Amino acid sequence: MACVLQIGAGGVGGVVAHKMAQNREVFSRIVLASRTLDKCKAIADSIRAKGLGEIEIDEVNADNAESLVALIEKYHPLLVVNVALPYQDLSIMEACLRTKTHYLDTANYEHPDSAHFEYKEQWAFDTRYKQAGIFALLGSGFDPGVTNVFCAYAQKHYFDEIESIDILDCNAGDHGYAFATNFNPEINLREVSSKARYWVNNSSLGNHSADFEGSQTSSLASPPKSPKNHESNTTNIRIVDSSVAKSACNPNQKNTETSLISNTDLKINPDLKQDTIYRKFEREEKHFSLDSNTQDLQVLDYAGGQWRDIPPLAMMKEWDYPEVGVKNSYLLYHEELESLVRNIKGLQRIRFFMTFGESYLTHMKCLENIGFLRIDEVSHKGSTIVPIEVLKTLLPDPASLASRTKGKTNIGCYIKGKKGGKERTIYIYNVCEHEKCYEEVNAQGVSYTTGVPAMIGAKLICEGKWGIGASKNASLAQSLNECCNSASVTTDKVVPSPHFAQHSNLTQDTSILDSDKATESFNKNRLAMNADMPKGGEYQGIDNGAKLYQVNGDSAQIAKEATQGSGVWNIEQNDPDPFMSELNIQGLPYVVLEIDSNGGLVVLEDGRKNTK
C-alpha cells in the first residue's frame, strides 16, 4: 500500500521496523536507514528470522539535509518516520519539506548545546508545510504521544471541561545493573537533571491551593497499601497518593525544609512533598558551573498562564500504581505539556511525573556532583571532551538491556474535570510487560511503548485516517471556541467514527458547531493564542492549508481536499478514536478507570478484553 522510509535504528527504531513488518497490508515497502548500517542489518535479520519478510536498508547522515534529500529522492516514500536523535528533527523536517514528503517523529527538537527542548522551532515549519501540501505529525511516541491522545480522548468522550492533568510515567522494570538508562543515556540524563516545570492557569493563581485541594479530600489521601496486583475487572481497587496525608507542604505551617521551593509553588501543589533522597548529598558549592537550564529558575507567561520552574527532582509524591505498586514519582518537565496547554479546554494545571528509585537517584547525584552530567566541552590531555558523552560511552547500551529487564511499566493520565456540571476523575493508562516485549520484538518495554505508537501514527497517515484530507479532532476546536454554545446545535445525525467501536459505557458529545460561525470564532481565538509563535507558526492548529497553498502561487492543480489537513500538527490535534482503537490491536491496550469520591474504581473500558 505504501512505501515508508524510517530513519533511526536504535532500540525504538527496532520496534518500529518490526511492528511495520507485522502490518504489511499497509507498509508494503519498508526502508530503514541509519548512520550505522550494521544496526540496520541486525534489525533486518531479526525481522526475517521472525518470518516477517524483508526490509531494505541504507546509510544516511541525519545531521545533513542534503544527504537526507538524496535518500528520500532515491526511494520516494509516502512518509518519513523519524526515530533518530531529537537533535536531528530540524534537518529531517527540512529534507521532507524540500521533497514534499510527509513527516512523523516521537520527540520534539532538542538543542544539542543546551539541556533545552521545545516545539517552537518545529511549529515554525507549519506555514511552509501547508503551502507544500504535506503533513507533519509531532510526538507520536508514548509520552509525548499516547498520553496526549489519552487527554484528547478524555476531552472528547468523558469531560465537558478538563481542569487538571497529571501525566504519570512509571517504569517498574529491573535490568539487574547498579545503574543504567532505559533509553539514550545522554537524552535521558539531560532530561532528568534539568529543572522541573509545570503550568498553572492565571485564574488559579489568586486562590493557590483552593483550586486543587480536592485531592486532599479524595481517596488519594489515604495511606498507601502494600504493593499488590490489581485486577482490572474489580471495582474496589484504589490508586493511592499518600503524600497528601503526610505532606510537609501545608501553607499554614512553617516548614524548615522548604528553602528550595517558593511558598507559592507549595500552595499551588499541596499534594506534593519535598525530596529527601536526591539531595541527601547536595552541596551548595561545586567546582564547576552547571548549565543554566538547571539553575535559572523562572516564572514565564504562557498561553494564559505561567510556567513555574523548580529545581531538578525537588518535589515528589507517592502513587500506588495499578498492577505495579507504590512508587516515588518526581515532578519533571516534559515536552507534551507545551502543546497540551494550548489544546485542552478549561485546563487549570498540568504536571508530569516520572518514577525513580533510591539507587538511581543516588548514582545520578554522584555523577552530577563530580561533573559527569555536564554538556559543555572540557579540556582533557590536550583535547576536549563532553563529560555526558563520555558517560554515554561508559554506560550499557540501552538496547542491550532488553533481554535482562523484568517487570512492568504503567503510564497514564490522571485527569480531573467536569461532566454535566459534576466533578469527575478518571485515570487512563497502559500496562506493558518487559518480558513480553522482548519476546515479540527483541526490545524492552520503554522502547516498545515508544515504537508501537510511532507505527500507529504512520499507519493512520498511510491509510488516510490522519493527515491530508482528514478532519481534526472536533472537540479541540470547541476547546478554544468560547462562542460554541451560541453556534452549536443538537443533532442525532452524528455518526460514530467508522474506525472506532464504541464501548457500551461510552457516550459521545452530539453537539456540532455551525461550520462558518464556529470556524471563524475558533480561528480568531487560535490566532490570538498564536501571537507568541515564531515566524511560520502563526497558523498552527488552524486547518487553512488550501488557502495558504493558493497564496503560495504554485501552478500545480491540487484540490482543496488534498491540502486541507496539511501543516505541522501535534498528535492530540487529530481525532483520537482511530488511534485508541489501534492501541488495543497493536499491543498497547488501554484501561479507563473512573475514581469515585471514596477512592473506589469503576472500569469504564478495558482494551485487553478486545485484543486479538
Whole-number pLDDT of residue 405: 94
Whole-number pLDDT of residue 476: 58
Lowest mean per-residue pLDDT among 6-20, 83-97, 216-230, 431-445: 216-230
Domains and CATH numbers, the chain: 1-204+262-482+535-611 (3.30.360.10)
What is the tens place of the pLDDT at every residue in 163-191? 999 999 999 999 999 999 987 888 888 88
Chain-centroid distance of CA 566 in Å reads: 21
- What confidence category does residue 204 fall into, taking pLDDT thresholds of 50, 70 and 90? confident
Distance CA 48, CA 36 (A): 19
Mean pLDDT score, 222-236:
33
* Mean per-residue pLDDT over the chain, rounded: 84
Whole-number pLDDT of residue 35: 96
Pair 47, 18: CB distance under 8 Å: yes
Helix pair 445-462, 434-441: axis angle to 10 deg:
60
- What confidence category does residue 75 fall into, taking pLDDT thresholds of 50, 70 and 90? very high
Mean pLDDT score, 101-119:
85
In this predicted structure, the answer to whether residue 572 has a pLDDT above a threshold of 60 is: yes
Whole-number pLDDT of residue 14: 96
Mean pLDDT score, 314-343:
95
Q: Which residue has better confidence, 604 or 597?
A: 604
Q: In Å, how far are 147, 460, 580 from 142, measured between CA atoms?
A: 6, 16, 12
Q: Cβ atoms within 10 A of the Cβ of 419, count?
A: 17
Distance CA 100, CA 552 (A): 14
Instruction: Transcribe 202-252 into DSSP letters.
Output: HHHHTTGGGGTTHHHHSGGGSPPPPP----TT-S------TTTTT-S--TT
Q: Which residue has better confidence, 284 or 75?
A: 75
Grid cell at residue 355: 518514577
Pair 605, 505: CB distance under 8 Å: yes
Q: In Å, how far are 129, 239, 564, 581 from 132, measured between CA atoms?
A: 5, 48, 11, 30
Distance CA 309, CA 261 (A): 9
Q: Percent of the chain, pLDDT > 90?
A: 65
Instruction: Transcribe 469-517 into DSSP letters.
Output: T--B-HHHHHHT-TTHHHHEEE-S-PPPPTT----TT-----EEE-HHH
- What confidence category does residue 223 fall into, taking pLDDT thresholds of 50, 70 and 90? very low
Distance CA 311, CA 285 (A): 15
Cα(first)–Cα(last) distance of the chain, in Å?
A: 23
Q: Are strands 305-310 and 196-201 parallel, antiparallel or unpaired?
A: antiparallel
Grid cell at residue 469: 484530507
What is the tens place of the pLDDT at every residue in 477-530? 555 444 344 333 333 333 333 333 334 344 444 444 456 677 778 888 899 999
Q: Cβ atoms within 10 A of the Cβ of 45, count?
A: 10
